[in-house]
Structure 1
Amino acid sequence: MPKIIVEIMPKQDLLDPQGKAVANALQRSGNKEISAVRIGKRIELHFDRPITDQDMENASAQASSFLSNDVIEDVVAITKED
């Protein structure tokens, strides 16, 4: 089933408390080489037909206006899988 994948991450200059907590837990469990963790969102938009260029444009517009909060998040990737 074809899908468009939208990846969203917290803005670089904002704190990521969930990522910080996971990084601390990983370090406590012996993973000292991990210095930071950032946790974001992956949204999959599934289609019952082939994905068109218009679908990609629509996904990009929706990612910026509806799927993410542009005050605290960045859309970092929009890709398709067939």
Structure 2
Amino acid sequence: MSIMDFLFGKKQQSAQMARDRLQIIIAQERATQTPDYLPTLRKELLEVLSKYVHVSLNDIQITQEKKDGMDVLALNITLPETGKKRPVNDAD
């Protein structure tokens, strides 16, 4: 850093400014946007789980909350009683 940069300040690069602005926009979107992906996530989880155990869409509960400034996605899956597992196909 030269004395001129110190006195007059170094102009921030446009790429860095764009990056900073994008980070602000993304943070605002995350804070204000509702999680539209949850229904799709629930459906895809059901598809994967049904390969191993018999569960219905009502057996999967998904909640999203903020804890200590972080987004927390919690899954609660009610599994059937033991002994009711579906056979796993070895060909998959």
More helix by share: 2
Name the larger-Rg structure. 2
TM-score by length of 1: 0.27
Name the structure where strand makes up a greater proportion of residues: 1
